[in-house]
Chain A
Amino acid sequence: MSVLVFVEGLNGEVKKSSLEAATYGSQVAQQLGTTVTAVAIGEVKEDALARLGEQGISKVLYDGDERLSQFVANAYVKVIAKAVEQENARVLVFSNSNIGAAIGAKLAVRLNGSLATNVTALPKIEGDSFTVTRGVFSGKALADVALTADPKIIAIKKNSIDITSGGGTATVENISAELTDADFSEKPKETVMQETDGVLLPEAAIVVSGGRGMKGPENWHLIEDLAKELGAATACSKPVSDMDWRPHHEHVGQTGITVSPNLYIAIGISGAIQHLAGVNSSKVIVVINKDPEAPFFKAADYGIVGDAFEVVPKLIEAAKALDK
């Protein structure tokens, strides 16, 4: 019996969300008094994998088959299923990314296991009972769910686990699931990555977000400059992407993406309940709005009532003055 963590790579490095998964997996292994192994697929550098020892991973199984550099669900599932069998894994930990959620769902069916996505905390394990807490009702509530089958598959919400460090070095071994061309029949035609010099929104620890109060796309340099100074990703409200001021992948909320950064700065956003649904699990929320009655202030930790066009330049100046 052991714990298995699936690790995703980005530009050869291990994604931050996967470091969170590795930390979570190690802590579950400690609770269960067992070992934790990671499985990595695609283009990830060996030294990046070895550094997973920092999070308590002792061994990494790696499949560097070139065909796996793009995500192909069936092929990925096969490799992970092989690792599950080899390690006799009882608990599988993923990040709740698009890839993690997809593989988790497929594995749950294939291995007859229990799946919980959007998990926010370590499990409670008592005898045979294994319960995790997950976000439901778009961040407005939490549910405790008992995972009644094995393996237990857990996809953890981003930014809900503090990454630990200080462990050792992991050994890296190869694994191969003897994939055939048929396993790649759903291979994507084309992958287009966004042009970004900054941080990816779903992974970001800090998000600077603009709403209709920004008046137009020509003013977005204010949002971008502040984001750049803070090492943040940029986001927007729904009307902003509906009007094509910003691309759709930046739209957060009930019908956009959900983010849970350490810091969310909302500028010229009123704070409609559908917007809050996508950001309400952020640790610290800052609201800048010229209307003191804007509902967003009720959900905020810090607020400034003022005109964004006067306030944001001051913030950029102050951020520049910070020693980084």
Chain B
Amino acid sequence: MKILVCISNVPDTTSKINFTADNKEFDKTGVQYVINPWDEYALTRAIELKEAKGGTVTVLNVGEADSEPNIRKALAIGADDAIRVNAYPKDSFFVAQQIAAVAKENSYDVILMGKESIDFNGSQVHNMVGELLGIPAVVPAFKLDLLDDSTARLEREIEGGKEVVEVKLPFIASAQQPMSEPRIPNMRGIMTARTKPLKVVEPTGADTKVDYVNYSKPEKKGGVKMIDPENAGELIKLLRNEAKVL
């Protein structure tokens, strides 16, 4: 079983988000980067499947050299090898084409991603890759089991319920809770990660379909109005008459 896990390198969930003075780029100053939290669910599920059935887990990141600490972290958690496509992830279509190119070359049985990246919030890359490769993308999945060597059973969330899906390999799935319990790398993992292969490849000459032209921050709230707990019912009146949301 060959599993590919696509990981995105994103600002830590507690980061303050700021932009450069011209509002054209994200300001990385002082920002810690982490593996996209949703991609960690994908990664740990991939490692669990490998532990149960044998095989390899490859992690793939489309990013510049500064993603390498988190690629190494994925290796420390238990992936076997890694590929970094050496390019700034300009837009989802660009990233999808890079992932599809790597997948075509190596024919993986399962490709796992996260539900969405917490910086772009696109929820796009998985279905784009699915379309580019002509294989199903089960999005967003919260349960994944292999029934045999050629079939997987997944549960995916739909608005207001869930769907049980059976797909033939190869397929793509995006992970969300509670697919797995993310792991923290142990000392041995960290040591062995240093010598695991991390291959850097150049991007295919792919195009982009959108341009990020400007960033801004949402308007600040006007401050909080406090209501006396003894008169809590007053809140309901304010919500109707002042805020007009009831």
Contacts and interface: CB of A to CB of B under 8 A. Distances in A.
Interface of A: 10, 15, 70-71, 73, 96-99, 101-102, 104-106, 108-110, 112-118, 131, 134-149, 186, 188-194, 196, 200, 202-203, 205-206, 230, 241, 248-249, 251, 254-256, 258, 262-263, 273-274, 277, 280-281, 283-287, 297-307, 310-311, 314-315, 317-319, 321-322
Given A106-B131, A147-B209, A286-B235, A98 B243 contact: no
Contact of A98 (B159, B218, B240): B159
B210 A73 contact: no
Given A109-B128, A192-B161, A273-B13, A301 B209 contact: no
B233 to A, nearest CB: 3
A255 B38 contact: yes
A113 B210 CA distance: 9
B202 interface: no
A255 to B, nearest CB: 5
B233 A254 contact: no
B17 A102 contact: no
A82 B61 CA distance: 35
Contacts of B209: 108, 112-115, 147-149
Nearest to A297: B224
B136 to A, nearest CB: 5
A146 B210 contact: yes
Contacts of A205: 245
B158 interface: yes
B151 to A, nearest CB: 11
A135 to B, nearest CB: 6
Q: Closest 8 CB pairs between A and B?
A: A306-B229, A318-B233, A105-B127, A193-B161, A318-B236, A314-B232, A109-B131, A188-B163
**Interface residue SS majority, chain B:** mixed
Q: Give the one of A115, A116, A248, A319 with max B CB within 10 A.
A: A115
Given A314-B233, A318-B236, A319-B236, 14 more contacts: A73-B136, A96-B123, A115-B124, A138-B13, A138-B121, A141-B19, A142-B217, A145-B211, A191-B163, A202-B159, A248-B178, A263-B246, A301-B225, A304-B226
B227 A192 contact: no
A302 B227 contact: yes
24 contacts: A70-B163, A73-B136, A99-B158, A101-B127, A102-B127, A104-B124, A115-B92, A118-B121, A118-B123, A141-B217, A144-B216, A148-B209, A186-B167, A189-B165, A192-B164, A206-B245, A248-B177, A281-B218, A286-B235, A302-B235, A303-B227, A304-B226, A310-B229, A315-B235
A205 B246 CA distance: 10
B93 A305 contact: no
Nearest to A140: B17
Interface string B228-241: 11001111111110
Interface in B59-93: 92-93
B162 interface: yes
A147 B239 contact: no
A142 B139 contact: no
A138 B157 contact: no
Interface string B176-211: 111000000000000000000000000000001111
Nearest to B96: A109
